[in-house]
Amino acid sequence: MFSKTCEYAIRATIYIANKSKEGTNVGLKDIAKNIDSPEAFTAKILQKLVKDDLVSSIKGPNGGFSLSATQQKEVYLIDVVRCIDGSQTYDGCGLGLSQCSEEKPCPIHFQFKEVRTKLKRMLENTNMVILLEKLERGETFLRL
């Protein structure tokens, strides 16, 4: 459903948020290693996230990437998806057709519309705090 780039971006954001909660800035190499992403590719993803103010970047010897407590509350999954994949994930045609609409639906239009609506709602209602809390309680798993 998400592009590989978007999957890495979501994992990176969660990883950075988790390390930030521990009071640690995290470096590129550490992020790439822990989300199983090539370093150069991860750098490009992080550059986009920083540009959209979803992640903070601090230069210097104690630098790295972080999410403040405020960012952890304000950064929702929809923000990360929008930054990387745009709105196509939850607004586009399930078959990738450009002319799919209510008036001219593709064969899966109405079924996919339900899935898109639920996906968009989940993305809009899930911030980093919620994800970190689920990780802490052991309800979810992510190699951190």
Identify the CA nearest to 35 among candidates 13, 66, 54, 52: 13
- Tens of pLDDT, residues 29-73: 999 999 999 999 999 999 999 999 999 999 988 889 999 999 999
pLDDT band at 144 (very low <50, low <70, confident <90, very high): low
**Residue 143 belongs to some domain of the structure:** no
| Residue 14 lies inside a defined structural domain of this protein | yes
Please determine, for residue 114, whether its predicted confidence score (pLDDT) is greater than 70.
Answer: yes
Whether residue 69 is contained in a domain is answered as yes
For the chain, how many structural domains are there in total?
Answer: 1
Which candidate, 103, 100, 73, 78, places its Cα nearest to that of 89?
78
Residue 77 lies in a domain: yes
> Is 142 part of a structural domain of the chain?
no
Within-domain flag for 126: yes
User: 51 is in which domain, residue-wise?
Assistant: 4-136
Stretch (H or E) spanning 94: none
* 144 domain-assigned: no
> Model-level pTM?
0.90
The mean of the pLDDT values for the chain is: 93
CA–CA separation, 82 vs 99, rounded Å? 21
Q: Read off the CATH number of the domain in which 58 is found.
A: 1.10.10.10
Q: Compute the average pLDDT of residues 81-92.
A: 88
Q: Is residue 104 part of a domain?
A: yes
